[in-house]
Structure formats: structure tokens, C-alpha cells
Amino acid sequence: YGYFTYDPGFLATASCESAITYIDGGKGILQHRGYPIDSLAKQADYLEVCYILLNGAAPTKSQYDEFKNTITNHTMVHEKLAHFFQGFLPDAHPMAMVCGVVGALSSFYHSDLDIDDKDQRTRSAHRLIAKMPTIAAMAYKYSIGQPFVYPRNDMSYAENFLHMMFSVPAEEYKVSPTIAKAMDRIFTLHADHEQNASTSTVRLAGSSGANPYACIAAGVASLWGPAHGGANEACLNMLEEIGSLENIPKYVAKAKDKADPFRLMGFGHRVYKNFDPRATVMRETCHEVLKELNIKDPLLDVAMELERIALEDEYFVSKKLYPNVDFYSGIILKAIGIPTSMFTVIFAMSRTVGWISHWDEMLSQPGQKIGRPRQKYTGELDREFTPLHDR
């Protein structure tokens, strides 16, 4: 193809240089700014991870406090933004609302935004990290017909999200420390994953000079699909469809049948051809949460049996199809009481820091060019054109 190569699905193409996230899929390694993911998930909180992704290294205590204070101060959204929700039908998917409302942030903050100015880029990053949980919880509250709950600045990031999701004017939701910790871990484990579809979408949108809120809306749209962020919702729907242990062999057979488009959701990954290191931590957290909440959920029995069969079955073993992060996150979210339709929204909230860190990194790199892939043309050439009246 002349001076370019044909690589559908970007299986062998690196689109950029990046110092944010390192993945060795063969060895099951994931590191952010050089820090292994399991250390971050177990020893840092999500806002520390946000700081690390955005700024390149772990914060000192005073840097952390200042960062937390800044994020906390941006959690409110403009009252006019709340009106956007009224335009959606109550049964609209929360991802549809989030995609639209995040894009609408452009109209509040971009008029004076100079994306070549690092300080201004940082301010939009802070705004997005702070406002995403507020917008996500508003989408949920709107869908169930309850009033919006304002953010609380005395709570942690995870506690505040749970508060905005579950408090009602008559009664404040009591946030259990185990649930807040599990929520925080879900945020951390989804914070970044280098050049996946949605991050590449954000970079590509941003490469034209588009404003950050529009770029993040593009990322939300790209994340929504079931092969990417939509997998956690699709996984839970699949477990519900399977329903009981005796149905599992039928579904495993369907997944292996090449004539059947059905796939086991929550299994397989483009990059991890070994275990997904995020799934290991998520699995532990999943068991902690279910124990703490004393939950006996038949869907969990289905999930555990599916995991056991898939890890032993020749088809899955030979293709290196291991449970991925979304296999376990869906079970945790369900146990916490989060509806399935909000799963991908939570992924989008968590990934916003990754998206905006990549956007900022790209704009900081000298000589950055607009992203413009080429194609392999398969259409006709040199056809004779006949005017309409002669056809």
C-alpha cells in the first residue's frame, strides 16, 4: 500500500509514544507511571491514582491534600446543566445521557479555553474528574424519578458518589467502609489502560484541536460498545440469561460454536493473553464484598462455575481467554445495589482520568500531528459517468 501498511483493528500498530501506562499482556503486567496496579489498588486511593496518571509520580501528603481539595471544589455542576436531563425520556440509557451531558459541558467551559496552555488543560482535567460522578449520579436519579442529590465535600470520592446515587431527601445513605473501598478499587482498576478503543478515540478527537469536553464525550461513546466498556453490563445480562448452573454447558457450547455469534462476556482481552492483573484484584475484592454483605446470589454461583469451566476448557485455555476485569466488577456492582445500566457509566467515570491524561500528554508533545489513518480502497475506479437524464 505504498508508504503505509494495512493493519485493521490496529493489531500491530503503535499510534503514539506514551509515558503513562505500561502493559505486558503476555506476562500479565499493568503499571501506571511505573507503579504496579496491584500496589495502587491495595495501597492508594483513586484520587492518588488520578494524581499519578495526570502528574507522573505519586504525590506527597501536601500535594495530595491540595489535589483532593481542588477536585472537591469542582464537584458541583452549573444549575443550567441539570436542565439538560429533562430533555431525555426517563427510560433513556444512562450512557446516552452521560454522553450528551458531558459533551454539553463544552458550552459551559470551552469558550475561553486555550488548549495550548498547560494550566488551562489542567483545570479542565480537574473539572472533568470532579464532575463525572455528579453527572453519572444525576443520570441515575433522573432515570428513577428521584431528585438530584448534591455532592458532599466532606466525603471521599467514592463515598460521595455512593451518597449522590443512593441518598434521598428523607434519608441519607449510610456508606459502609467496605463498600466505599470496593467502589474506590473499581475506579482505580478502570482508571487507565493505554491505547484502548476509547482512549484512542479521545486522542484522535483531540488531535484536531477539539475541546476536552467534546473529546471525553467521544470517549464515552466509544466505551459504550459491548466489546469494550459495555462488557460489564453485557456480562451481568448474560449471567441472568444463563440463570442456573444446569444451563452453563449449553452457553459454553454456544460460545465455542463458530457459527454462533454468542461470546462469553467478561472473557478474553486483546492485550492480555495471560491473566488480566486487574481481574486478580477484582476477584479478591468481589469475595470480600460478598462476605461483608453476606450475599448469597445464585448469579454468583453461575459466575464462579462459569469461571471454573472456562479456565479448564480446552477452547478457552488454547485461545488464552481468561476472565477479564469486567467479569468480576459487574458482580460487585450488583451486590452494592447498582443497576446494570449504570455499570458502563461507572467505567466511563473511572476512565475519564485516563482519557484526559492521554489528551494532555498528546498536546504536550512537540510536533503533534492530527490523527489521520489511511485505508485500503476496495471500490471501483475510473468509471464512466452518465448524466442523470441518460440513466
Out of 94, 100, 206, 266, the residue judged to bind ligand CMC by CB under 6 A = 266
Q: From residue 267 to residue 306, what is the string marking binding to ligand CMC with x (rule CB under 6 A)?
A: xxxx------------------------------------
Q: How far is the CB of 237 from ligand CMC (least distance, A)?
A: 12
Pick between residue 121 and residue 269 the one whose CB is nearest to ligand CMC: 269
Region for 265 from its dihedrals, namely left if φ exceeds 0, alpha if ψ lies in -120 to 50, beta otherwise: beta
Pick between residue 134 and residue 352 the one whose CB is nearest to ligand CMC: 352
229 interacts with ligand CMC by CB under 6 A:
yes
All 3 cell numbers of residue 20? Answer: 503513562
Q: How far is the CB of 231 from ligand CMC (least distance, A)?
A: 3
Handedness of CA 359, 31, 73, 170 (dihedral sign): positive
Cβ pair 194, 23 in contact under 8 A: yes
Q: What angle do CA 283, 288, 290 make, to 5 degrees?
A: 95
219 interacts with ligand CMC by CB under 6 A:
no
Of the residues 184, 192, 276, 326, which is catalytic? Answer: 326
Which helix H or strand E contains 307, and what residues bound it? helix 298-312
Residues contacting residue 193 through CB under 8 Å, at least 6 positions apart: 21, 23, 30, 199, 351, 354
326 is catalytic: yes
Q: How far is the CB of 218 from ligand CMC (least distance, A)?
A: 16
Instruction: Give whole-number Cα distances, 54 to 20, 240, 312, 369, in Å.
Output: 8, 38, 40, 22
Q: How far is the CB of 69 from ligand CMC (least distance, A)?
A: 32
- Residue closest to ligand CMC when measured from CB atoms: 268
Q: From residue 75 to residue 94, what is the string marking binding to ligand CMC with x (rule CB under 6 A)?
A: --------------------
Pick between residue 130 and residue 252 the one whose CB is nearest to ligand CMC: 252
Q: How far is the CB of 229 from ligand CMC (least distance, A)?
A: 5
Cβ pair 167, 173 in contact under 8 A: yes
Q: How far is the CB of 117 from ligand CMC (least distance, A)?
A: 32
Taking Cα atoms as reference points, which of 160, 129, 94, 162 lies closest to residue 335? 162
Measured from the Cβ of residue 159, the count of other Cβ atoms closer than 10 Å reads 20
Of the residues 269, 276, 358, 360, which is catalytic? Answer: 269
Q: How far apart are CA 330 and CA 307, in angstroms?
A: 14
Within positions 316 to 345, which residues make up the interface with ligand CMC, using CB under 6 A?
A: 319, 321, 324-326
Q: How far apart are CA 203 and CA 53, in angstroms?
A: 16
Rg over alpha carbons for the chain, rounded to the nearest Å, is 22
Q: Looking at the DSSP assignment, which residues form a beta bridge with residue 36?
A: 31
Within positions 244 to 263, which residues make up the interface with ligand CMC, using CB under 6 A?
A: 255, 263
Candidates 39-47, 66-74, 86-94, 222-230; binding stretch for ligand CMC (CB under 6 A):
222-230
Measured from the Cβ of residue 187, the count of other Cβ atoms closer than 10 Å reads 26
123 interacts with ligand CMC by CB under 6 A:
no
265 interacts with ligand CMC by CB under 6 A:
yes
Pick between residue 164 and residue 264 the one whose CB is nearest to ligand CMC: 264
Q: How far is the CB of 29 from ligand CMC (least distance, A)?
A: 15
All 3 cell numbers of residue 120? Answer: 488551562
358 interacts with ligand CMC by CB under 6 A:
no
360 is catalytic: no
Residues contacting residue 325 through CB under 8 Å, at least 6 positions apart: 189, 190, 276, 278, 279, 282
231 interacts with ligand CMC by CB under 6 A:
yes
Handedness of CA 381, 384, 388, 391 (dihedral sign): negative
Give the residues lining the site for ligand CMC (CB under 6 A). 193, 196, 227-229, 231, 255, 263-270, 319, 321, 324-326
Active site residues per annotation: 269, 326
